[in-house]
Structure 1
Amino acid sequence: MIARFLAGVIVVLGLVAPLAAQETTADRLRAHLYAGELAEGLAAMEALEDDEARFGLGVFTLFSGIEAMAQALCRHGFNPERGIAVGPFFGMASPDEQGRVPEPLSYEDLRGYISDFVAAMDAARPLLLAASEGEFAVEIDVMAIRVDLDGDGVAGEAETIGAFLALAAQTGERLDMGSGMAPDLDMPVHVFAFDAADAIWMAGYSQVLAAQGDFLLAHDFSAFFDAALHRLFPGAGLPMESRPSTGSLFMERDSDALLADAIAMVHTVNWSVIDRERLIGVRERALEVLDLSRQNWTAILAETDDHLEFIPSPRQTSQFATLGVSKETVDAWLTTLDVAEAIVRGELLLPHWRFEGVGFDLSAWVEGAERTDFVLLFTGLDALPYLKEGEIADAESFAAANAVFGGSIWNYALWFN
């Protein structure tokens, strides 16, 4: 009797155990994302060969690059709000100290971090595009994704995407100073079924981020670093912290110091171009972002399902109550991409407020500029060599976008990439 009972138990366990062990690739992907175990997640995906795993490879590579950059900056006390939100004149109280002593930061250190970040984004791009050739739909609660931002080995409750977006929204509102330009980061729905189209979207965003890094690396911004970046890295030993600010001119010490640093920041945005290939590469990345956005919409419009769509087609259900997608929305966005591409290529000139009948050739500036000085570009001197006659962008060029998106254009741009 006992023998038969034990045999029956063994048979039952033999049937149940495989069912309990059948953890899907999507389950493993989610578990590592929600635990902030990016390295472990990457290793797990490398050991698998299905479409979800290929998507996971791209996702974990992308987030690992972001995490590495965040940790590097955190070691040096990166805290723009603590560095900027000081002084009663600006109406913002400085937040509490984090309790960590920042490591000294050098200009060479920062360039190295940016270079590594660009390389990580470029590593993620082909993986995500390869994943986009497969068929999958991985449900992910984006607010539950964790990233070990401070590098202490644990991705805590405060290091979820949800916590980051909440903090960014609060900080944006404070630093926006009532201008209304801060994007709305509210996400009423945060579980999406990420599919092949979304892999293309992520690949595009990897290049948006890489382009910004390459733009900086194409220039010598060391004077800007010395004069102003103690505002972003307070306590990291930058030159303007070598002596405490004790005097005042107009208001009180902290507000006057912030005003002086703002002037120094503008004054030192006069960056020599030291890597022409990187600067031209920024233009090529911008063109790729535009092309990937088109590919993204081609994939979205070809979808026949309607399940927790991150970016829906006009036939699918939008998860955002205030951001709908119609045929007019898609058409306006695609038209805007065409206009943007013409500007990047220099086929459509940018208007300059100071000069009539001529426009600014952005592509020629990328290929020929010896420096980037935003003040002199705006006031006219540095724009002169790149002014020419031709078709100039105007309000009509963006009429379709203005008619459809209106005041929500920044929210749609952030969403659509």
Structure 2
Amino acid sequence: MRHFIPALSLAALSLAAPPAQAEDLSQEIAAKGIAPTLSRLSALPSPSPEEAFAINGLHFLRAVEVTFQARYAAGVTDRTGMLPFLQLPLPESPSPAPFDPAFLSNLFRAAQAELDQVAPLTTDFALTIGLDDLWFDINANALREPEEGFATLIAPFTAASPGPLPKVTFDTADAAWLAAYAHLLSGLCDLILAYDPTEAMTKVAATKAKLAELGPLTPDPIFGDMNPGGLDFVDLFAVVIETLRREPDPARTASAKAHLLQMVALNRDFWTKVNAETDNQAEWIPNDRQTSALGIAVPQGAGAEWLRVLDDVQALLEGRKLIPWWRIEGAGIDLGAFLDKPAPLDIPGWVQGWSALPYLKQGPLVTAESLDRFDALLQGNAMLFALYFN
């Protein structure tokens, strides 16, 4: 389990460095951090394939770092929900900024700006880095603090005793994996920004302030007060419902669809390339003849089963398979049509049918068969390996 957790976290946090320069780059990151190293590499007039991949990886890492910095500055340091970039607990901020209703929107825009800099590479390379050299400048003081190291940040997800993390060698196949993951996260950013929560956050925070003028509010009996701005579960639930009732931005949902389709295509490219590999050198995600540098036992055929899951994802995005709808047997929701021409997600309308009707049609329905086969092969760890594989 010790080595499995880094793999899952690095499914959202990855980087590599050229073999001839691996130690120098690792030391540069350890000493100076992500942003300064990225700045230096980005200024190179003609980056080598190794440097180009390092730039991609650093943009990816920077996407994570800017969200950490935004959360720390705002005091949103707990695990604040299921949204991307909000899952890791952070050190407490001594002087958080006043509540800003645009906090979430600004966070996802900043992350997406970095993610969209990641581009596929086709030139052969092999790059190695020590995972213990990775750190995130959470408090933006340009100094590495003990709690900012990668191993410390992932500690809540593993009960294993502390120890050194491995070095990993990335290659041409992994460039496709990295680009696929960037498309996945950028697509999720688009979906969140399509239903921009700023207006709902403003409304809920202003209402809570007015209510507090009438007297102390009864704390949420389940979760108590939660960040940001002391919003508790009731407030956050209201934000979600009000946000989903907004008229979405169709340009954002169309962009999300395009990103997710690219994610599927790049995943296929990754598995084609990794399955053709004949070496076995500190592998990131191994083929059936390789072993993982992270100590993860990847079952034979896992890649092929995962591609079947992605086939269903693509079929849903293209409207060739439908999401089952509870009131009509054999009819389902066309997700692709919804992303092309989105609508508010008012819950009564989707349950009763008036909101679902424009997207309902008869056709083949997606099932859990592919995911169940993937889960059976991985002995119940499908969701964990899905994070690892992307």
Q: TM-score, normalised on structure 2?
A: 0.79
- Report what 1:4 is aligned to: none
Residue 101, structure 1, aligned to residue 114, structure 2: no
Corresponding residue for 1:373? 346
Q: CA deviation at 1:308?
A: 0.9
How far apart are the structure 2 equivalents of 1:216 and 1:379? 24
- TM-aligned CA distance change 1:378 to 1:159, over 3 Å: farther
Task: Call closer, same or farther: CA 1:200–1:141 in 2, change over 3 Å.
Answer: same
Distance in 1 between residues matched to 2:382 and 2:67, nearest whole Å: 29
Q: Is the 8 Å Cα contact of residues 188 and 320 (structure 1) preserved in structure 2?
A: no
Q: Find the aligned partners of 1:139 and 1:260 in 2 and give their Cα distance.
A: 47
Aligned to 1:155: 144
Which among 329, 341, 352 is matched to residue 302 of structure 2? 329
Q: 1:226 to 1:303 in 2, by over 3 A?
A: same
The root-mean-square deviation of aligned C-alpha atoms, in Å, is: 3.4
**Contact 2:138 2:148 survives alignment (8 Å):** yes
Query: After alignment, is 341-350 or 398-407 more displaced?
Result: 398-407
- Look up the SS of the partner of 1:391 in the other structure: coil
Return the match for 2:175 from 199, 203, 211: 199
Q: Secondary structure at the match of 2:345?
A: strand
Structure 2 distance, partners of 1:338, 1:143, is 36
Q: Which of 282, 305, 322 is residue 279 of structure 2 equivalent to? A: 305
1:340, CA displacement in angstroms?
1.2
Q: 2:9: which partner in 1? A: none
SS in 2 for 1:138: strand
Larger Rg: 1
Structure 1 residues 394 and 254, CA, compared in 2 at 3 Å: closer, same or farther? Answer: closer
| Distance 1:120-1:271 versus aligned 2 partners, 3 A rule | farther
The one-letter code matched in structure 1 to 2:320 is E
Map 1:275-286 → 2, pairs under 5 A: 275-286=249-260
In structure 2, the residue corresponding to 1:67 is in which secondary structure?
helix
1:70 is displaced (CA, Å) by 2.2
- Matched to 1:157, the amino acid is P
1:390: which partner in 2?
A: 363
1:358 matched to 2:347: no
Give, in whole Å, the separation in 1 of the partners of 2:348 and 2:386.
26
Q: 1:69 maps to which residue?
A: 67
Relative to structure 1, is the Cα distance of residues 188 and 391 closer, same or farther in structure 2, using a 3 angstrom cutoff?
farther
Q: Which residue of 2 aligns with 1:116?
A: 110
1:240 corresponds to 2:229: no
CA distance in 1, matches of 2:163, 2:362: 45
- Range moving further from structure 2, 295-304 or 114-123: 114-123
CA distance in 1, matches of 2:95, 2:359: 47
For residues 77-226 of structure 1, the aligned pairs below 5 Å read 77-81=75-79, 98=92, 100-108=94-102, 110-123=104-117, 125-126=118-119, 129-130=120-121, 133-167=122-156, 169=157, 190-226=166-202
Q: 1-side partners of 2:183 and 2:220: how far apart?
A: 44
Per-residue CA distance 1:260-296 (angstroms, 9 max, x = gap): 3354245324342342111111011111111111111
Cα separation, 2, equivalents of 1:99 and 1:75: 7
Higher relative contact order, chain-length normalized (CA < 8 Å, sep 6+): 2
Corresponding position of 1:317: 291
Alignment CA distance shift 1:345-1:159 (3 Å): same
SS across alignment from 1:356: coil
2-side partners of 1:332 and 1:31: how far apart? 38
Q: For the Cα contact (< 8 Å) 2:105–2:196, is it kept in 1? A: no
- Which residue in 2 is equivalent to 1:90? none
1:308-330 per-position Cα deviation (integer Å, ceiling 9, x unaligned):
1010000111345553241x212
Change in 2 beyond 3 A, CA 1:261/1:296: same
Per-residue deviation, 1:409: 0.5
> Percentage identity across aligned positions?
26
SS in 2 for 1:268: helix
TM-score, normalized by length of structure 1? 0.75
Equivalent position SS for 2:137 = coil
Task: Check conservation: 2:72, 2:90, Cα contact below 8 A.
Answer: no
Residues 34 and 251 of structure 1, relative CA distance in 2, 3 Å threshold: closer
Matched, 1:29 2:18: no
Gaps of 5+ in 1: 1-22, 85-94, 174-183, 231-237
Give, as a single letter, the amino acid of the residue that structure 2 aligns with 1:300.
V
What amino acid does structure 2 have at the position aligned with 1:332?
A: E
Offset at 1:259?
A: 4.9
- Cα distance, 1:250–1:261 mapped onto 2, change above 3 Å: closer
Shift of 1:36: 4.9
**d(CA) in 1 for partners of 2:223, 2:134:** 41
